[in-house]
Amino acid sequence: MKKLPALFLSALLIPAFASSAKHHEKKEKSDPSIPPVVTPGVHGTPDKAGTPPSDAIVLFDGKNFDQWESGKGGEVKWKLVDGAMEVVRGSGSIRTKEKLGYGQYHVEWRTPEVVKGSGQGRGNSGFFPLGGPEVQVLDSYENSTYSHGQAGAIYNRYPPLVNACRAPGVWQSYDVIVHAPIQDEAGKYLRKSAYTVLHNGVLIQDNMEVGGSLGKTGHLALQDHGNPVRYRNVWFRPYQDPIPMKRK
């Protein structure tokens, strides 16, 4: 049998490969199970704020309070310092103007470098996704207090698994994943909403139930507890938790 030249075979095969590749590409684009592409952000350092991922809703980028209001809906009385917002004692808590839902909440925070007080009087503030419950913000670096009130605690409910606090004056981060509830086919709640929390990249709360029904939304709030705590690089990624399907 006479062999066909290699170049002739290539000419025959290339269109077939091209057609197959186009078919595969079309299938990928139409397949709803293919995850969307997200460009990751950069983690913040003590010297520089991080950046959000490409699909995040940026809530504070260090420039202004345009997306924030006082806890009662008025003007924000906190101040801007070096690309961060700083609590002004007695001015009250603040919250986002927009109500948000389930998803990933990110914030970088810093307690004062000059340590004053002890226990709950040291670098105290709070982070409230959907308006609460509170993820405690506190200077817990070599600072004793009750376990369910230290940094990373879901306040007055669950202590953190570990104390991952950095030294006073050093920037830290929280990533709080607020999970939607789980229902069975009859609509009975098997688990209401829950928090998973990472403190400086360390898991400190693992899917802890905090209450809340399907479809709940609320303002993200930051607390004035009398200490000049600073916040920067605040963002939110809404998502549909893969858990809240109705189970048998």
Give pLDDT tens digits for 154-199.
999 999 999 999 999 999 999 999 999 999 999 899 999 999 999 9
For residues 3 and 93, membership in a common domain is answered with: no
For residues 27 and 67, membership in a common domain is answered with: no
Give the residue from 95, 99, 146, 102 showing the smallest Cα distance to 124: 146
Q: Is residue 174 part of a domain?
A: yes
For residues 141 and 175, membership in a common domain is answered with: yes
What is the model's pLDDT at position 203?
98
The domain of 102 spans: 57-238
CATH of the domain at 185: 2.60.120.560
For residues 105 and 27, membership in a common domain is answered with: no
- Whole-number Å distance between alpha carbons of 114 and 189: 46
For residues 102 and 15, membership in a common domain is answered with: no
pLDDT interval class at 31 (50, 70, 90): confident
For residues 13 and 71, membership in a common domain is answered with: no
Q: Is residue 71 part of a domain?
A: yes
For residues 100 and 68, membership in a common domain is answered with: yes
For residues 29 and 62, membership in a common domain is answered with: no
Q: Is residue 168 part of a domain?
A: yes
Which stretch of DSSP H or E encloses residue 177? Answer: strand 172-179
Mean pLDDT of 231-242: 85
For residues 98 and 144, membership in a common domain is answered with: yes
For residues 14 and 97, membership in a common domain is answered with: no
For residues 103 and 28, membership in a common domain is answered with: no
pLDDT interval class at 35 (50, 70, 90): confident
For residues 131 and 9, membership in a common domain is answered with: no
What's the total number of domains in the chain?
Answer: 2
> For the chain, what is the mean pLDDT?
88
Interior angle at CA 42, CA 85 and CA 99, nearest 5: 50
Mean pLDDT of 59-63: 97
What is the model's pLDDT at position 21?
55
Lowest mean pLDDT among 14-18, 32-36, 76-80, 193-197: 14-18
pLDDT interval class at 118 (50, 70, 90): confident
What is the model's pLDDT at position 90?
96
Q: Give the global pTM.
A: 0.84
Q: Is residue 46 part of a domain?
A: no
Q: What is the pLDDT of residues 133-145, one digit of tens each?
A: 999 999 999 999 9
Q: Is residue 66 part of a domain?
A: yes
Q: Is residue 107 part of a domain?
A: yes
What is the model's pLDDT at position 47?
84
Structure tokens at 96: 């986002």
